[in-house]
């Protein structure tokens, strides 16, 4: 039986740049085989987090990182591993993820998943869940001036890896 996820760290940021700093710090903890699930309401900052993470791992702050909303996945050959960015908002059935190369992406690199709830039971139990919530907005409206609370949730195996950058 797999160990359940627990809240490991909660970080409050005031700007998108703050979200980017958290994403970069997480990037330093990632290794081959990891899966990161980005969860949050529409406009909570999942794509901004993903872009910052990918740019940080690539070592290129100007890297063009399109949202894979319509293509559903995008592969990046990074210096330390390949990263496949999945955006499952438009995914029909959970099993459709296999048509996107899910098994190969999981075996050969790191996976980053927006809208992981679309995976259902296919979500890896050892994945790190990054939950983004807007704070300070009205009626769920998001803008640059409002902050985010970022919660890193995972099993006990993630805690020592994350402590180096988040304690």
R_g of the chain computed on alpha carbons: 15
> Distance between CA atoms of 49 and 18, rounded to whole angstroms?
10
CATH class assigned to 6-166: alpha beta
Long-range Cβ contact pairs of 157-160 (< 8 A, separation 24 or more):
157/3, 157/126, 158/8, 158/128, 159/8
Sequential pLDDT tens for the chain (167 residues): 466 788 999 999 998 899 999 999 999 999 999 999 999 998 888 999 999 999 999 999 999 998 888 889 999 999 999 999 999 999 999 999 999 999 999 999 999 999 999 999 999 999 999 999 988 755 545 454 468 999 999 998 999 999 988 87
Phi, psi of 139 (to 5 degrees): 55, 40
Distance CA 160, CA 146 (A): 30
CB 10, CB 151: distance < 8 Å: yes
| pLDDT value of residue 42 | 87
Helix (H, G, I), strand (E, B) or coil at 73: strand
pTM for this entry:
0.90
Count of Cβ atoms closer than 10 Å to residue 57 Cβ: 23
Nearest to 56 by CA among 76, 34, 36, 35: 76
Closest CA to 163 of 154, 100, 73: 154
Listed by start position, the domains of the chain span 6-166
Q: Do 16 and 36 meet the contact criterion of CB atoms below 8 Å apart? A: no
């Amino acid at each position: 039986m797999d160990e359940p996820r627990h809240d490991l760290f909660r970080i409050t940021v005031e700007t998108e740049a703050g979200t980017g700093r958290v994403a970069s710090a997480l990037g330093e903890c990632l290794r081959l085989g990891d899966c990161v699930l980005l969860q949050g309401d529409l406009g909570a900052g999942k794509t901004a987090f993903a872009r910052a993470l990918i740019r940080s791992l690539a070592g290129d702050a100007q890297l063009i990182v399109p949202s894979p909303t319509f293509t559903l996945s995008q592969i990046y050959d990074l210096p330390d591993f390949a990263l496949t960015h999945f955006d499952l908002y438009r995914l029909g059935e959970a099993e459709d993820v296999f048509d996107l190369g899910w098994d190969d992406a999981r075996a050969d690199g790191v996976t980053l998943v927006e809208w992981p709830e679309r995976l259902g039971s296919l979500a890896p139990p050892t994945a790190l869940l990054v939950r983004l919530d807007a704070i300070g907005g009205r009626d769920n409206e998001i803008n640059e001036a409002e902050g985010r609370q970022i919660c890193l949730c995972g099993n006990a195996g993630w805690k020592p890896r994350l402590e180096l950058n988040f304690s």
